[in-house]
């Protein structure tokens, strides 16, 4: 038995079938009976993991993948340095815009935007509003 064959070296993530963006409902999917939990994704950095090219690619890939799912977040909340995701020169901007175009509210914390940061997408909002949203939704995912 090689190291790769050992159970602790096997992936533990199950494959989830992705639904093409153009498909309104997958086969056998009934919108009326599907449980729907509201959720928000809160980002504090414009990358995932390390602040390098790979970290930027990871956050862009995450947002693109999220946009292909049947259940998309109700809110994407950008705070601190993550407001850079809302600038049209960020690699993840297109995926974030697509989420916004399909019904996800993109909220940008006003206090995180300064003269050095450009915001081309989303609604400027206060911390009070962000806290209200986080209380209202059923799940909050922090990045």
Pick the CATH number of 38-142 from 3.50.50.60, 3.40.1260.10, 3.30.365.10, 3.40.50.300: 3.40.1260.10
Identify the pLDDT of residue 89: 92
DSSP class of 103:
T
Identify the pLDDT of residue 29: 41
Identify the pLDDT of residue 52: 85
Q: How many CB atoms lie within 10 A of CB 75?
A: 20
Identify the pLDDT of residue 31: 44
Identify the pLDDT of residue 94: 94
Cβ–Cβ < 8 Å for 80, 45:
yes
Identify the pLDDT of residue 3: 55
Collect the ranges in the chain with pLDDT lower than 50: 16, 23, 26-33
Identify the pLDDT of residue 68: 86
């Amino acid at each position: 038995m090689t190291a790769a064959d050992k159970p602790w070296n096997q992936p533990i993530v199950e494959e989830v079938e992705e639904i093409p963006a153009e498909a309104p409902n997958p086969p056998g999917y009934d919108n009326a009976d599907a449980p729907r939990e509201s959720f928000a994704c809160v980002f504090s950095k414009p990358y995932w993991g390390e602040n390098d090219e790979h970290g930027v690619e990871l956050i862009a890939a995450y947002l693109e993948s999220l946009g292909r799912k049947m259940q998309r977040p109700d809110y994407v909340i950008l705070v601190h340095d993550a407001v850079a995701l809302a600038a049209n020169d960020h690699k993840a901007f297109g995926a974030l815009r697509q989420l916004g175009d399909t019904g996800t509210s993109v909220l940008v914390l006003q206090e995180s935007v300064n003269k050095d940061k450009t915001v081309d997408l989303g609604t400027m909002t206060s911390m009070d509003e962000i806290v209200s949203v986080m209380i209202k939704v059923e799940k909050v995912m922090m990045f």
